[in-house]
Structures are given as C-alpha cells and as structure tokens.
Homo-oligomer: A and B are copies of this chain.
Amino acid sequence: MKEPDALDVTVAEVNAFAAEQLPFSVELGLTCESLGPDEAVVRWRFDRRWTRPVDYVSGPVMMAMADLAVYVATFTRGGIVALALTNELKTTFLRPAASRQDLLCRARILKRGRKVLYGLADVYEESAPERLVAQATATYVVAGEPGDTGVDR
C-alpha cells in the first residue's frame, strides 16, 4: 500500500475506535493491521473458540472480518464515520481455513458515492495470500458525516 501519510486515519486511531465502538470485534479477536488509500487489512488471531472441529475457522468469523475491513477501508478518505452502515454483504466460502493460523482480510473500496460505498474483500490464511478462503462484496450506506465519530451521540 502506498502513501500512508496521505490517509485520513491511522491504524492506531482505527483500533482505538474499534475498542470503544465495536466491542464484538475485540471479542472475536479482530484488529486493523494496515491501511492504504481505499484499502484496509484486518487480522483475526487464531482462537479455537471460533473454530469448528477440527480447527475449521467458522464462516461468521470471516463474514465479520469482511464487514470490518470494508468499513475501516471507508475511513481512509474522509476519516472515521461512525454512522456508515452496512447495507448488504455477500460472502462466498471458497476453501476451508483449517491450518491453525491467523486469517487476514484485505478490503478495497471500488466505489465512493455520496450515498453508497462498495468494497471487495479477500480473506486468506497468513501463509497463503494468493489462495483465498473467502471473498466478500459489501455495500455501505453513508449515514453520517466525516468527523462524526458517533462516540458522544
């Protein structure tokens, strides 16, 4: 990812926001790993609480990763907009994630409209970035304004 200086948000700011506003992300073990223009990478720390026997990562973990990664990627231009809302998210599960390692999800924003944003998210095991385990597409509705973090509303 290029030009991190030009971004309107930092990884630390995103993770502080998540800690305050997105407690389920913390609970699931999700953190923002890196940011780029219209891009974000989210990490899921391997944890047997969220796997199925034997060690298959459950689908909802990947859906939550995709939802968070696209959401965070929208922050990279315009800053944190707490009130952006997921309109719809479709995830296709391509292969089992069964090798007991962290997952990463890279999301890219492909459309920024005044009303809706659209992103594509790839989920993969850390050791095999080219071998997707899931792919998701999502639309967000722009419900808030830049700078409105939602914290005090």
**Interface secondary structure of A, over-half rule:** mixed
Instruction: Indicate whether A61 sits within 8 Å of B94 (C-beta atoms), given known contacts A110-B135, A116-B116, A116-B141.
Output: no
Q: Cβ of B135 and Cβ of A135 under 8 Å apart?
A: no
Distance in Å: Cβ of A97 to nearest Cβ of chain B: 12
B22 x A58 contact (CB < 8 A): yes
User: Which residues of chain A in 35-79 are interfacial with respect to chain B, using CB atoms and an 8 Å cutoff?
Assistant: 48-53, 58-61, 63-64, 67
Cα-based distance from A142 to B115 in the complex (angstroms): 9
Is A9 among interface residues, defined by CB-CB distance under 8 A? no
Whole-angstrom CA separation of A58 from B89 in the bound complex: 13
| Docked CA distance A57–B114 (Å) | 22
Chain B residues closer than 8 Å to A86, beta-carbon distance: 59, 93
**CA–CA, A86 and B120, complex, Å:** 18
